[in-house]
Amino acid sequence: MKALIRNNNQIKIIEKERPKLIQNTDAIVKVTLSSICTSDLHIINGAVPFANNDIVLGHEFTGEVVEIGSDVKNIQIGDRVSANCETFCGTCEFCEKGFINNCINGGWMLGCKIDGCQAEYVRVPFADTGLTKLPDNVSYENALFVGDILSSGYWGAKLCEIKENDTIAIIGAGPVGLCAMQSAKLFGAKKVISIDINETRLTLAKQLNFADIIINPQKCNIEKEMKKYSKYGADCVIEAAGGNNTLEIAWKIARPNAIIAIVAMYETNQNLPLPQMYGKNLIFKTGGVDATDCKKLIQLISDKKLNTDYLITDKFNFSDIKKAYKVFSNKPDNCLKVALYY
């Protein structure tokens, strides 16, 4: 089969043997649709030190199950499925508490520590927890971002413990930020404020009715601007940008005793100026996405309460994956996510 691998901070397409079942809990999936994630770029650039070299990249995909291990119970051959970006056993101490990102038998595996989905076939460990069956009215396109981008945005909103009348500020109007806006509305936020320096993305957030207010921090004093819409600052802030100054913006625009949910992935260390923050009593919630709600998200898509189709802005055949990487890396204003068709 054809596969795209990372090799010494470069990518190349190779011929590779089709994956085989290793554990009885595995499944083999024929990939029908995949995408490229910013974290794939981080791996290529060497910013993920625990990522293995010469592995097949990618963790966002949908497909058809073609083989299952003897211990797989929830998934059958022929099922249409979406994949969770995380590998987790479902039975260890952390999994039982819902902290699947800290699974002692898994973690961020696909496309990082083991071969991922940017190939014609992929082996999925712990298939019962790593794959979600799609109902007939949910297409592969509808489900492509459930296990990563949508889960990340939804998780960020969930961390905020949103209450009625809350004002939620979301930094970053990229794919995760847009999904966080949708999710914040779903959780009952009264007012959603989108913050970004990209005017095209801000306009999209407004056009999609995900954001009530849009702010470009390069065109105003962001702290003063925020207080026009929320007297003491945002009740919750979701940091989905991962820029050089976005964590600083997050704590400055939050009201005292606010929750700041950090779902962004940074390439460099961030600093917390604790003396300046003293007395503000902020609650920080950070870490990798605990994507425990994939089944719920699929149902919400099936019920037409969530939709991520707008994220697919560029389509490529898998044979053109290098071109797709170039487009996604250069990030033209109108590019949100690419979809690779197999």
Tokens of 165: 């009348």
Q: What is the pLDDT of residue 225?
A: 96
66-75, 305-314, 330-339: which has the minimum mean pLDDT? 330-339
State whether residue 178 is helix, strand or coil. helix
Q: What is the pLDDT of residue 186?
A: 97
Say yes or no to pLDDT of 265 above 90.
no
CB 288 within 8 A of CB 101: yes
Q: What is the pLDDT of residue 94?
A: 93
- The Cβ of residue 320 has, within 10 Å, a number of other Cβ atoms equal to 15
Domain boundaries, the chain: 2-145+308-341, 153-286
pLDDT in tens, 44-100: 988 888 999 999 999 999 999 999 999 999 999 999 999 999 999 999 999 999 889
The answer to whether 2-145+308-341 and 153-286 have equal CATH topology is no
Higher pLDDT, 25 or 272: 25
Please state which CATH class domain 2-145+308-341 belongs to: alpha beta
Q: What is the pLDDT of residue 52?
A: 93
Q: What is the pLDDT of residue 9?
A: 85
Bridge partners (DSSP) listed for residue 260? 237, 284
- The Cβ of residue 16 has, within 10 Å, a number of other Cβ atoms equal to 16
Tokens of 220: 């105003």
pLDDT in tens, 9-50: 899 999 999 999 999 999 999 999 999 998 999 899 888 889
- The Cβ of residue 21 has, within 10 Å, a number of other Cβ atoms equal to 17
Which sign, positive or negative, has the C-alpha torsion 134, 140, 142, 143? Answer: positive
55 to 2, 44, 46, 77, 234: CA distances (angstroms): 13, 11, 13, 26, 42
H/E stretch holding 156:
helix 151-159
Query: How many Cα atoms occupy the beta-carbon half-sphere of 132 within 13 Å?
Result: 31
CB 66 within 8 A of CB 30: yes
DSSP per position, 300-336 = HHHTTS---GGGEEEEEEGGGHHHHHHHHHH--TT--
CATH number, domain 153-286, options 3.30.160.110, 2.70.98.60, 2.102.10.10, 3.40.50.720:
3.40.50.720
Q: What is the pLDDT confidence band of residue 192, given thresholds at 50, 70 and 90?
A: very high
pTM of the prediction? 0.94
As a whole number of Å, the end-to-end CA separation of the chain is 12
Mean pLDDT of all residues in 240-248: 95
